[in-house]
Amino acid sequence: MEVEFLSMSADEDVITRLFRVKNVTRVQEGQLVVCQFQFLRWSAYRDVPDSKKAFLNLLAQVHKWQRECGEGRTVVHCL
């Protein structure tokens, strides 16, 4: 597998990273663009996010990505 970092953007609640992933032993399968959303407002010691507004903003960003990039993949994580 080959993973290529493409870009990163950040605000106070979310870091967004884009990667291109391809299987170098099966080049004919093409490649995937993966968007990783790192949500910064949910600490390890809480059962719920620190901010409802920030969480809704995260959901809006993920929804926008999925709408714009039907062939892409999405990864969301906290911490």
Q: Would you state the pLDDT for residue 69?
A: 83
Instruction: Give 10-residue mean pLDDT values along the chain (79 residues).
Output: 95 93 84 89 83 92 88 72
Q: Would you state the pLDDT for residue 79?
A: 64
Nearest-angstrom CA–CA distance, 16 and 33 = 13
Tokens at residue 41, please?
Answer: 């407002």
Nearest-angstrom CA–CA distance, 32 and 23 = 10
Is 74 in contact with 37 (CB distance < 8 Å)?
yes
Q: Would you state the pLDDT for residue 59?
A: 92
Best CA proximity match to 35, nearest among 56, 55, 63, 65? 65
Tokens at residue 63, please?
Answer: 């929804």
Q: Would you state the pLDDT for residue 23?
A: 86
